Amino acid sequence: ATPTAIMVGTGLGAENGILIKGGEYLELAHKVNAMVLDKTGTITEGKPTVTDLIPTEGIEPNDVLHFATSLEAQSEHPLARAVVEHGRKQGMKASTVSGIEAIPGRGLVGAVDAKRVLIGNAKLLEEHEIYDFDRSLVAGLEEQAKTAVYVAVEGKCIGVIGIADQIKADAKLAVNELRRLGIEVWMITGDNERTAKAVAKEVGIDNVLAGVLPGDKSAQVQALKKSGHIVAMVGDGINDAPALAAADVGIAMGTGADVAIEAADIALMKSETYGAVQAILLSRLTMKKIR
Ligand code: ADP
Ligand code: MG
């Protein structure tokens, strides 16, 4: 593109809340033929709330919430904040916790009231050789696009907490438009496959990468690049930053973590999924001008 077209395109972007960090990204974006969207905070609002509390038979719901809030009070994870907020509303008082350990892509381990407590996904429990939990209970939650958080005390699952995160109003429209533009759409998430697929189905995405560990998102982007795609990655989280940097074009959500915004080539002022589509459209328009 001519310098003038790039300048006009960049200016037009800025006016519309699309901050492009260099002319080369505006030029490259029109070639994008695969877009990878992070789930939490990009397709969904990223404001999870507790919707279900299902104790194991013989367990009091308040016991589940007590152990869960005590442990999650030590975490900054969005799911942790949802649990703590729910506990606070129910008047729960957190106990002191010791020996806490965060396990990326899994959850937390620690001691509450001198008991060993685990909170997180099924993989976390399995990795600690706890297999006694009722998966059918959880399947129902996951089919409703909710995330199931398991609570285990002293080697036994005492209950499950269902957490929902609303899908952004324009996510489906954005996916449709990407399809119309001939762009392959992917969803990537650390969340489990069933929840991920339920969210993907609601917005019309067929390609789902679920259960991806925080450190593996960028490898997935690299793999798509190797298979001949020009890849745009859209994300908001700390764990999206390496993938944003690895993509041909990294696009960060306005409400994203500072490191995500820094790692991206294009930063959106707003937090709408459709902003990523607008960035592509702007690039196509800019490149057409000069041909
Ligand atoms: P993402 O941001 O893509 O959802 P994460 O790697 O942050 O990915 O989390 C992946 C999964 O790990 C979550 O869906 C959840 O099941 C589990 N997890 C991680 N941290 C916690 C936590 N503090 N409490 C409960 N579950 C957690
Ligand atoms: Mg996210």
**Residues 47-61: pLDDT tens digits?**
999 999 999 999 999
Q: What share of the chain has pLDDT > 70, as a percent? A: 99
The alpha carbon of residue 276 and the mean position of all alpha carbons in its chain are separated, in whole angstroms, by 16
Q: Tell me, yes or no, if the two domains 3-45+167-289 and 49-164 fold the same way.
A: no
Task: For residue 236, give every residue at least 6 positions away whose Cβ sits within 8 Å of its Cβ, in sequence order, or none.
Answer: 38, 40, 41, 42, 46, 252, 253, 255, 256, 257, 260, 271
Q: Which residues pair with 55 in a beta bridge?
A: 159
Cβ 106 under 6 angstroms from ligand 1: yes
Per-residue pLDDT, 266: 98
Closest to 192 in 3D by CA, of 148, 224, 158, 151: 148
Cβ 47 under 6 angstroms from ligand 1: no
Catalytic: which of 38, 191, 236, 265? 38
pLDDT greater than 60 at residue 290: no
Which residue has its alpha carbon closest to ligand 1 atom 14?
191
Q: Which CATH class is domain 3-45+167-289?
A: alpha beta
CB-CB contact of 245 with 259 (8 Å): no
What is the CA(190)–ligand 1 centre distance, in A?
6
> Residue 289: which pLDDT band, with cuts at 50, 70 and 90?
low
* CATH superfamily label, 49-164: Calcium-transporting ATPase, cytoplasmic domain N (3.40.1110.10)
Which residue has its alpha carbon closest to ligand 1 atom 13?
191
Q: Which ligand is nearest to the CA of 68?
A: 1
What is the CA(115)–ligand 2 centre distance, in A?
32
Domains of the chain, by residue range, sit at 3-45+167-289, 49-164
Active site residue 52: no
Reported as a single tens digit per residue, the pLDDT across 108-139 is: 999 999 999 999 999 999 999 999 888 887 99
**Ligand 1 atom index nearest CA of 188:** 3
